Amino acid sequence: MNLNIPQHIAIIMDGNGRWGERRGIPRTLGHVEGVKALRRTLKHAGEIGVKYLSVFAFSTENWKRSTEEVTGLVMLFKKFLKSEEKEMMRQNVRFILSGSKATLADDICIAVNHLEEVTKDNDGIILNVAFNYGGRTELVEAVNKILAEKRVKITEEEFPNYLYHNIPYPDLLIRTSGEMRMSNFLIWQLAYAEFYATDTLWPDFGEKDLDLAIENFNKRVRRFGGNNVK
């Protein structure tokens, strides 16, 4: 692909439940297919030179969904943490979690910490999974860390050090299923990202869809609030 590849792509993986409903199958099976879409998207992103892939897997608001769906999502995430280790090592992927661990079950935290530890020296694409994540929660937790240090002043440049991870901000945000909102995802980090929405439901998202989003990104003129094109 002879294009300028975004360093950091963020994706709101939307439409899993609707994908299942349209086929007359449980919403949870749509989420299973969504994991397959994540696998192929991660692989392709790494192959074309993307350095960071942040994906919205489960929000702090998703706990309000039905018990059946929440249980299915949590079980699927636990399975993902265990089943993907070997493939991440093979693809040289580094895994990190963005989200509040304080309210996660101990077994999930143990699995997350293990996957972060075993992949920490991998120097390929970084997969940042937002699970039990809320943008407002992240900002509140950051402020509380600052207050705990008894700081009375902080700069914009220092503030990212208090977020879940201080990694480069996303260049491109992709949202699937035709929705046009941020849904409390990476509120601070997405300030100057380019947005791309597609009607494709997440389980149907593939390599060509990612390429189309990047092609669209290459048509944008990024000024970051100024007049100079970057």
Residues with active-site annotation: 14, 62
Residue 12 forms beta bridges with which residues?
56, 175
| Element containing residue 113 per DSSP (H, E) | helix 106-118
Cβ burial of 211 (10 Å; 0-12, 13-18, 19+) is middle
138 token code pair: 């992240």
| Cα distance between residue 83 and residue 35, in whole Å | 11
Is 85 within 8 Å of 118 (Cβ atoms)?
Answer: yes
5 token code pair: 């590849």
Is 9 within 8 Å of 45 (Cβ atoms)?
Answer: yes
3-state DSSP call for residue 179? Answer: coil
CA-based nearest residue to 35, from 51, 67, 52, 58: 58
Q: State the DSSP string of 37-95.
A: HHHHHHHHHHHHT--EEEEEEEEGGGGGS-HHHHHHHHHHHHHHHHHSHHHHHHHTPEE
How many CB atoms within 10 Å of residue 149? 10
19 token code pair: 């994908």
3-state DSSP call for residue 203? Answer: helix
